[in-house]
């Protein structure tokens, strides 16, 4: 609830100060001035201790609010989804989150793509009660939940008790709402990045000699190779961003479990501070030294030089690099397609309106 | 030293209070607000109060939601009330092969119910088919080979759950006919997951299938009018580029019937291969053979009844004809309907299956 506070102090004579303390706002609980009757520091500390104890108990209750336990005892509330889209830094964040003791990363299961691609992409089949993903939400969610938990157990039987399973799922984010509905008590990281930088990175990888283009050329990837026309790559990349970040946002907004929104740019600017915020907002205990070691291990500087650079998976990691990488027409195209999301997540970034 | 304190609070909405606290005066030493960190401590306490309230709300909400998702709702029935896998009868093949007709007859048999095109085969089959080789080799991929046993079991449970949700009144001894021609891409995965279930492979001459689709896809026809998704209408391929739709349909036939055939060959449960043409030529005898090979008891009287009820002659005349769902039901009609070029396209693409099921 909004609160406005102002404390003014000025010395009016030697040793004598005039003060004005002003506080106004809206509250659901006791009004601040009452302080719940707190008159002394000792009393305040006692109250704080009491509240800390209550919070610990309630957090435990929230954790235990699950009413089922899969065969392997992976706690659904210890599943941490990482949604967004490709090229937003999820590999980096996932690598750091994989390091702490008791934390395991599930690298791109694409379970979101399985269900999301069918549900949203072939929406005609979701309507009737006969459709496998049709009928009431609860039934669909129950079936998807059982599928995810059984698959997770099959793959990670060792993750149980207080262990966390971080599911790096940027390329399955088109199914994020379905996964979040199926596991309402799970935790969620919504990782976003400026769409112009995402498309720029995409373009670099798919252009002649880029790592994605090479994967098709050398047969490591099959199917239709990416278009060679830069305009087509940019358009496709921007549309994918709109769909995947859009679905992630839909899931994030509706999710009632612990969740955190992270911008790639802030993760780059202050990695430790952002990591601390992620763990804090997700309610996951963290060992700061352990996290600091993980950050150092996976820092940009520690990636061998030969693995970095234009056309490579690790490209430049420079927020705002799109200004050098994209042409005005390409910028315009990305901004036109991703406009609403760009405005929402990067309101401080003026839309360039082509070429500015 | 003089100090003036004033506090005002009033309720502006249910449970929400507006407040104004003013404190001013003269003092020697610490100001009341800053006194020994008391203000900070009070602020901390207020934050914790808020957190306590939020957690209480979250806990109550999550407990309710998790229960809804995790537990079968009252009346849903327990796990042992799910359909028995051996009582599932899958109809695979391709669209426009007479699967609607066959399932209509079967649905009127005693203790038979129908699960109409759940498309579960498409859900898993198309996703698996489109996966990259690298993904299939990976244990991380949800349908990766290293964890095949696990996800096959998951598919089994997913299908049985879905069947129960779609047919909650199904009794333990009832048969569930799953009409799934358009999910035939996933037939091998489904049969692997449910090896004890029964299977009908329903095939039809691919040239008649193509002719039927071309007719339905023309402007004003049933398929054109029903499909408003994608660029079906915009492209109007059946009118503007019939060869393209013929090619697409023939490729789909290869995938669907090819996969259904693979599943049929590997399946060790009860199974039967049925050609549409023989079902048309002698419906009663073919129905008898189906039930006999599937090992499902069926009296001649019942079979005669359902065959008669769903005969071509009993479909109202106004529901039949060019451009309608029930078109002509005439095997070999493609000779009149397709151009030589179109027939050639289908024959070239579907050659292996055409040769197998309709040898010259």
Q: What percent of chain B clears pLDDT 70, i.e. is strictly above it?
A: 79
CB contact under 8 A, A24 and B130: no
**Which chain B residues are within 8 Å of A128, Cβ to Cβ?**
116
The reply to whether A54 and A86 lie within a common domain is no
**Which chain B residues are within 8 Å of A133, Cβ to Cβ?**
123
The reply to whether A162 and A204 lie within a common domain is yes
Nearest-CA residue of chain A relative to B69? A142
Which two tokens mark A291?
């996290």
Which two tokens mark A250?
């839909």
- Mean pLDDT, chain A, rounded, equals 84
Statement: residue A4 has pLDDT above 90: no
pLDDT value for B58:
64
CB contact under 8 A, B59 and A27: no
Statement: residue B51 has pLDDT above 60: yes
pLDDT value for A355:
44
Nearest-CA residue of chain A relative to B50? A29
Looking at the structure of chain A, the number of domains it has is 2
pLDDT value for A117:
93
Least confident of A210-224, A227-241, A324-338, B31-45: B31-45
CB contact under 8 A, B24 and A20: yes
Helices B300-309 and B283-294, packing angle to 10 deg: 130
Statement: residue B324 has pLDDT above 50: yes
pLDDT value for A222:
73
- Mean pLDDT, chain B, rounded, equals 84
The reply to whether A153 and A111 lie within a common domain is yes
Statement: residue A65 has pLDDT above 60: no
**Which chain B residues are within 8 Å of A130, Cβ to Cβ?**
115-118, 166
- The 10 Å CB-count burial string (b at 16+, else e) for B162-185 is bbbbbbeebeeeebbbbbbbbbbb
pLDDT value for B76:
42
The reply to whether A170 and A232 lie within a common domain is yes
Label residue A136 by pLDDT band (50, 70, 90): confident
Q: Judging by beta carbons within 10 Å of its beta carbon (0-12, 13-18, 19+), is residue A27 exposed, middle or buried?
A: buried
Assigned domain for A305 exists: yes
Nearest-CA residue of chain B relative to A185? B62
Assigned domain for A71 exists: no
User: Is the separation of the CB atoms in A235 and A284 below 8 Å?
Assistant: no
pLDDT value for A71:
45
Which position has the token pair 């071309």? B214
User: Is the separation of the CB atoms in A275 and A96 below 8 Å?
Assistant: yes
The reply to whether A135 and A12 lie within a common domain is no
Q: In whole angstroms, what is the distance from residue A117 CA to residue A121 CA?
A: 5
pLDDT value for B200:
98
Q: Which of A13, A28, A63 is at the close of a domain? A: A63
Assigned domain for A69 exists: no
Q: What is the pLDDT of residues A30-42, one digit of tens each?
A: 666 555 566 677 7
Cβ neighbors of B231 (< 8 A, separation 6 or more) are none
Cα distance from N-terminal residue to C-terminal residue, chain A: 40
The reply to whether A45 and A157 lie within a common domain is no
**Which chain B residues are within 8 Å of A38, Cβ to Cβ?**
38, 41-42, 45
- Pairing mode, strands A103-107 and A79-83: unpaired
Q: What is the pLDDT of residues B132-141, one digit of tens each?
A: 999 999 999 9
Statement: residue B227 has pLDDT above 60: no
CATH number of the CATH domain containing A174: 3.40.50.300
Choose between A83 and B227: higher pLDDT. Answer: A83
- Shortest CA gap B231–chain A (Å): 13
Q: What is the pLDDT of residues A152-169, one digit of tens each?
A: 988 898 888 889 999 999
- Shortest CA gap A225–chain B (Å): 12
Statement: residue B169 has pLDDT above 90: no
CB contact under 8 A, A19 and B122: no
Statement: residue A22 has pLDDT above 50: yes
User: Is the separation of the CB atoms in A186 and A164 below 8 Å?
Assistant: no
Candidate from A68, A122, A221 with C-beta closest to B132: A221
pLDDT value for A174:
96
Which residue out of B46, B50, B74, B76 would a mutagenesis test of the A interface target, given it has the greatest number of A Cβ atoms within 10 Å?
B46
Label residue A236 by pLDDT band (50, 70, 90): very high
Q: What is the pLDDT of residues A294-307, one digit of tens each?
A: 999 988 787 777 77
Cβ neighbors of B206 (< 8 A, separation 6 or more) are B94, B250, B253, B257, B346, B350, B353, B354
Statement: residue B222 has pLDDT above 80: no
Domain span including residue A291: 76-345
Across the range A194-221, mean pLDDT stands at: 79
Assigned domain for A352 exists: no
CB contact under 8 A, B59 and A61: yes
**CATH fold for the domain made of B79-312+320-357:** Rossmann fold (3.40.50)
Domain boundaries defined on chain B: 1-35, 79-312+320-357
CB contact under 8 A, A143 and B26: no
User: Is the separation of the CB atoms in B70 and A67 below 8 Å?
Assistant: yes
- The 10 Å CB-count burial string (b at 16+, else e) for A156-166 is beebbeebbbb
The reply to whether A108 and A10 lie within a common domain is no
Strands (E) located in chain B: 3-13, 16-28, 88-93, 112-116, 175-179, 198-203, 271-275
* Closest of A167, A155, A294 to residue B148, by C-alpha: A155
User: Is the separation of the CB atoms in B179 and B99 below 8 Å?
Assistant: yes
Assigned domain for A171 exists: yes
**Which chain A residues are within 8 Å of B52, Cβ to Cβ?**
51, 54-55, 58
The reply to whether A31 and A119 lie within a common domain is no
**Which chain A residues are within 8 Å of B37, Cβ to Cβ?**
41
The reply to whether A159 and A26 lie within a common domain is no
Q: Taking CB atoms and an 8 Å cut-off, how many pairs form between chains A and B?
A: 268
The reply to whether A230 and A280 lie within a common domain is yes
**Which chain B residues are within 8 Å of A125, Cβ to Cβ?**
117, 119, 122
CB contact under 8 A, B52 and A51: yes
- Shortest CA gap A350–chain B (Å): 35
Statement: residue B294 has pLDDT above 80: yes
Q: What is the pTM of this model?
A: 0.77
pLDDT value for B154:
93
* Closest of B87, B94, B117 to residue B257, by C-alpha: B94
Assigned domain for A211 exists: yes
| Beta sheet of A79-83, edge-to-edge order | A103-107, A164-168, A79-83, A187-192, A259-263
Assigned domain for A350 exists: no
Strand partners, A308: A314
- The 10 Å CB-count burial string (b at 16+, else e) for B275-311 is bbbebbeebeebbbbbbeebebebeeeebeebbeebe
Nearest-CA residue of chain B relative to A105? B140
Statement: residue A248 has pLDDT above 50: yes
Q: What is the pLDDT of residues B193-210, one digit of tens each?
A: 999 999 999 999 999 999
Q: What is the pLDDT of residues B236-258, one digit of tens each?
A: 566 677 888 899 999 999 999 99
Q: What percent of chain A clears pLDDT 70, i.e. is strictly above it?
A: 85
**Which chain A residues are within 8 Å of B43, Cβ to Cβ?**
32
DSSP A79-133: EEEEES-TTSSHHHHHHHHHSSTTEEEEE---HHHHHHHHHTTTGGGSSSTTSTT
Label residue B74 by pLDDT band (50, 70, 90): very low
Strand partners, A9: A19
Candidate from B31, B122, B161 with C-beta closest to A19: B31
The reply to whether A244 and A121 lie within a common domain is yes
The reply to whether A37 and A116 lie within a common domain is no
Assigned domain for A36 exists: yes
Q: What percent of chain B clears pLDDT 90, i.e. is strictly above it?
A: 55
């Amino acid at each position: 609830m909004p609160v406005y506070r102002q404390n003014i102090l000025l010395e009016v004579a030697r040793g004598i100060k005039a003060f004005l303390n002003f506080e106004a706002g809206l509250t659901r609980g006791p009004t601040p001035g009452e302080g719940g009757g707190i008159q002394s520091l000792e009393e305040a500390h006692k109250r704080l201790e009491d509240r800390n104890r209550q919070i610990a108990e309630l957090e435990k209750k929230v954790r235990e609010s699950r009413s089922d336990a899969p065969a392997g005892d992976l706690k659904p509330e210890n599943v941490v989804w990482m949604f967004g889209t490709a090229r937003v830094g999820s590999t980096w964040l996932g690598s750091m989150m994989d390091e702490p003791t008791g934390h395991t990363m599930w690298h791109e299961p694409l379970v979101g793509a399985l269900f999301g691609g069918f549900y949203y992409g072939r929406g005609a089949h979701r309507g009737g009660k006969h459709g496998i993903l049709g009928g009431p939400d609860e039934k669909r969610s129950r079936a998807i939940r059982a599928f995810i938990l059984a698959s997770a157990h099959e793959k990670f039987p060792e993750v149980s008790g207080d262990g966390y399973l971080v599911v790096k799922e940027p390329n399955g984010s088109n199914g994020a709402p379905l996964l979040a509905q199926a596991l309402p008590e799970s935790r969620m990281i919504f990782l976003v990045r400026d769409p112009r930088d995402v498309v720029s990175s995409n373009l670099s990888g798919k252009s002649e000699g880029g790592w994605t283009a090479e994967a098709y050329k050398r047969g490591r990837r099959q199917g239709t190779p990416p278009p060679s026309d830069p305009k087509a790559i940019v358009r496709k990349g921007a549309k994918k961003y709109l769909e995947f970040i859009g679905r992630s946002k839909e899931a994030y907004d509706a999710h009632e479990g612990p969740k955190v929104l992270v911008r790639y740019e802030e993760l780059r600017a202050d990695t430790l501070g952002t990591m601390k915020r992620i763990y804090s907002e997700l309610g996951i205990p963290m060992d700061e030294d352990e996290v600091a070691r993980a950050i150092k291990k996976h820092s940009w500087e520690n990636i061998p030089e030969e693995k970095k650079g234009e056309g490579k998976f690790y490209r430049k990691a420079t927020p705002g690099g799109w200004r050098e990488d994209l042409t005005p027409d390409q910028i315009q195209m990305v901004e036109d397609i991703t406009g609403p999301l760009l405005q929402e997540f990067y309101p401080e970034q003026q839309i360039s309106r082509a070429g500015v | 030293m003089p100090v003036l304190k004033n506090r005002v609070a009033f309720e502006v909405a249910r449970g929400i209070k507006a407040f104004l606290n003013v404190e001013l005066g003269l003092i020697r030493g610490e100001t009341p607000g800053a006194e020994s960190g008391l203000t900070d401590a009070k602020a901390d306490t207020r934050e914790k109060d808020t957190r306590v309230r939020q957690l209480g709300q979250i806990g109550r909400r999550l407990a309710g939601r998790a229960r809804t998702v995790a537990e079968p709702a009252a009346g849903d029935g327990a796990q042992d009330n799910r359909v028995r896998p051996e009582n599932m009868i899958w109809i695979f093949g391709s669209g426009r092969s007479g699967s609607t007709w066959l399932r209509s007859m079967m649905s009127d048999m005693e203790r038979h119910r129908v699960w109409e095109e759940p498309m579960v085969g498409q859900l898993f089959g198309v996703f698996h088919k489109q996966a990259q080789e690298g993904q299939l080799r990976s244990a991380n991929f949800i349908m990766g080979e290293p964890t095949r046993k696990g996800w096959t079991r998951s598919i089994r449970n997913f299908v049985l759950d879905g069947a129960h949700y779609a047919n909650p009144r199904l009794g333990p001894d009832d048969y569930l006919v799953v009409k799934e021609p358009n999910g035939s891409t996933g037939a091998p995965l489904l049969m692997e997951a449910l090896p004890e279930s029964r299977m009908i492979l329903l095939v039809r001459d691919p040239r008649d299938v193509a002719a039927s689709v071309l007719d339905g896809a023309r402007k004003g026809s049933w398929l054109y009018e029903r499909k408003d998704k994608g660029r079906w209408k915009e492209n109007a391929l059946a009118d503007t580029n019939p060869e393209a739709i013929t090619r697409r349909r023939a490729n789909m036939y290869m995938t669907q019937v090819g996969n259904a055939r693979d599943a049929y060959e590997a399946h060790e449960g009860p199974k039967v291969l049925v050609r549409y043409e023989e079902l048309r030529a002698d419906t009663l005898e073919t129905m008898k053979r189906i039930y006999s090979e599937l090992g499902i008891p069926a009296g001649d009287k019942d079979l005669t009844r359902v065959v008669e009820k769903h005969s071509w002659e009993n479909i109202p005349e106004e529901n039949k004809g060019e451009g309608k769902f029930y078109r002509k039901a005439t095997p070999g009609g493609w000779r009149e309907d397709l151009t030589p070029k179109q027939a050639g396209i289908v024959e070239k693409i579907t050659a292996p299956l055409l040769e197998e099921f309709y040898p010259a």
